[in-house]
Structure 1
Amino acid sequence: MVLNFAHRGSLTEAPENTLSSIKKAVAHKAKGIELDVQLTKDNHLVVIHDHRFKRFNKNYGLVQAYTLAEIKQIDVGSSFSKEFAGEPLATLAEILEIVPRNTILNIEIKNIPVIYPGIEETLIHCLAEHDRMDHILISSFDHVALKKVQELDPDIPIGMLFYYRLLEPWKYAKNSGLRVASIHPNVVYTDKAFIAACHRYGYKVFPFTVNRMSQYRKLVEWGVDGVFSNNPEIFTQS
C-alpha cells in the first residue's frame, strides 16, 4: 500500500499547520499527516514551518523569542482568508487530541537554521504524555536531532530528510549508524533509480512535495512508498 501524507494538514483549504488545516485532512480520511514542530520561549511545542511569521504576513521575530501565550495572540488565519480570521497556531498537544490514533503522524523537527536544545526530549515526552507513541514517524533535515531521538527511544521510526542532490544518500544513511526507516528526498531528483537504490538498502521513500497527479502516478509506477502532498486528490489515495 502507498502511504501518502497531507503536507502541513490540508493547506490549500485552511491555513497550514493549524487545527483547521489538520481537521480538513482528517475529514478527508488522510492515512498520514505531516507537520512541523518548534519550541516556544517557554519550551512548548508549537506547530509551524518557518522560524519567523512572515508566511502569515506577520512582522514578528523568531518563534523562539515568544512564549506560547504570546504566540496564541497572533492571528495567522486571516492571512489565508477571512473565514479563518483570528485562528492562532496550534500546539502539538492540541493536534494529538484530534488526530485519530490510526493516522500516521510524520512530525518534522525544524531544527535548522535555529537549533532548539532539548527539543527531542520535549517531543518524546509530549508523545508519551498523550499516549501517542504508535503510528509516529519523526523526521528532520538535522540528522544530529534524529540521532538524539534514537538514543532517547530506539523504537521510534525516523526519516532522513534530504533537500539537495547528494551522492548516494542511501549509503550515507546506512553508514550513519542510525536505524533509518525512510528517506525523504526532494521530488525534483527522485527517479526510478533513486527509489530502487533506497529499497535495496532497506529504506522506504517518501518524496516531498508532490502536487501534480501526473507526477504522482509516475512515482507510484516507479515503486515509491508514498509522498507528501498539498493536493487532497493525492493525499487521500492509498
Structure 2
Amino acid sequence: MKTHSIFIATLVSLLSFSAFAAQPFCVAHRSLGYGGVENSLEAFEKASKAGAKAIEFDLLHTKDGKTIVQHDGKFGRVTTGCGKRKITEMTLKEIKDHCKLNNGEAIPTLDEALAILSQYNSTLFIEFKDKTITKDDFSSIKSYYSARPDKIMIISFLKNILLEVELKKESDSFYKEVKTLQLKKIGFYANIDDFDGISAKYINKNHVEKLQSMGKLVGVYTKDSEEKIQKYLDKGVDFVTTNNSLLCESLIK
C-alpha cells in the first residue's frame, strides 16, 4: 500500500511538471527585456502587461530585517543617493528616505513588488540572495498568492534557504505546492534530490534528460544571445532565464 502511494505521488509530480513545461519558456531576469530598470516596479508592470511567462527578481534583507528587491549587496550600480553603502548597514526607513533607483523610484519592498505582480499571471522566480528567509517573507508570498501557489518558484544558490521552504511544506498546505529550484553554476555537480528542479549556468543534454526523467524542472541562466539561447533550447531545457526576453520568446514561437 505504501509503495502504491509513493508511485501515485511521483506520477502526480511528473504530470504537474509536464503540464507546466509543456514547451520551454523564458524567464525575464530581474524583469528585464520589456523596459524599465532591473528589479523595479516599472519593469514588473511592463513585463507583466506584456504577458511574460515568468519573471525573476532578487531579495535582500536590511539591517532591521526587512525585505527589499535588489540584486547587489551594495548600493550604487542602479541606484543613487546611498553611495556604495551596504544594504545590511541601513534600515528600511533609511533606504526609503535616501535611496532611489535610477528611474527615480524608491527601492521596492517584497510586498510592493508582490502587490504589482499578483495582479497578473506570470510565474515568479523569487531569488533569495542572502542567508535569510523570514516569517514575514513566507507570510507575504502566501498572502498575495494564496490561491495560486503554482505561480511561485523559490530559487537560491543557498541550500539552507531551499531546505527551509521544504520544511515549511510539512506544516503549510500552500507551500506544498510551491516549487524549490537550486541555482548552480555547473548542473552536472548539483545534488537536487531534495528540491523540485535546477537552474544552471552550464548543463549538458544527458543531464537535462536524466533530471527530467526524475520529474525535475531544468533550466539555465543567464543566456542572452540567439546562439546561446538556441543552444540550450536544443538541449531540451524547460526554461531559459535571460535579459533578452523578446529574443528568447521569438525563438520559442
Residue 99 of structure 2 aligns with which residue? 74
Q: 1:120 deviation in Å?
A: 4.0
8 Å CA contact retained: 1:28, 1:236: no
Letter in 1 for 2:122: T
Aligned equivalent of 2:141: 127
Q: CA deviation at 1:12?
A: 7.3
Match of 1:158 in 2: 180
Q: Is 1:34–2:56 an aligned residue pair?
A: yes
Structure 1 or 2: more helix by fraction: 2
Establish whether residue 173 from structure 1 lines up as the match of residue 173 from structure 2: no
Partner of 2:203 in structure 1?
Answer: 190
Q: Select 1:24's aligned residue among 46, 52, 55.
A: 46
SS in 2 for 1:38: strand
Q: Please state whether the residue corresponding to 1:173 is helix, strand or coil.
A: coil
Q: Distance in 2 between matches of 1:214 and 1:13?
A: 23
Q: Please, what TM-score do these two structures have when normalized by structure 1? A: 0.82
Unaligned runs of 5+ in 2: 1-22, 171-175
How far has the Cα of 1:66 moved from its partner?
Answer: 1.4
Equivalent residue letter for 2:159: H
1:230 Cα offset (Å): 0.5
Q: How many residues align?
A: 217
- Return 5+ residue gaps in structure 1 as ranges: 78-83
Once the 2 structures are TM-superposed, how far is the Cα of residue 65 of structure 1 from its aligned partner? 1.8
The structural deviation recorded for 1:93 is 0.8
Instruction: Tell whether 2:222 aligns with 1:222.
Output: no
In the alignment, which residue of structure 2 is the partner of 1:205? 218
Distance across 2 between alignment mates of 1:216 and 1:232: 10
Displacement of 1:195 in angstroms is: 1.3
Distance in 2, matches of 1:236 and 1:27, equals: 15
Structure 1 position 3, deviation (Å) = 2.4
Choose 1 or 2 for highest CA Rg.
2
Give the match's secondary structure for 1:50.
coil
Distance apart, 1:201 and its partner CA: 2.8
User: Which structure 2 residues correspond to residues 72-151 of structure 1 after superposition, within 5 A?
Assistant: 72=96, 73-77=98-102, 84=103, 86-99=104-117, 100-111=119-130, 115-116=131-132, 119-132=133-146, 134=149, 135-151=151-167
Structure with greater contact order relative to length (CA < 8 Å, sep ≥ 6): 1
CA contact (8 A) 2:204 2:235 kept: yes
Deviations 1:18-67 (A, max 9, x none): 11121221132101000011112232210011111132365332212212
Distance 2:145 2:242 in 1: 27
Q: Which residue of 2 aligns with 1:43?
A: 65
RMSD (Å) for aligned C-alpha atoms: 2.1
Shift of 1:101: 4.4
Letter paired with 2:91: T
Deviations 1:199-220 (A, max 9, x none): 2332111100011122222222
Who is 2:19 aligned against? none
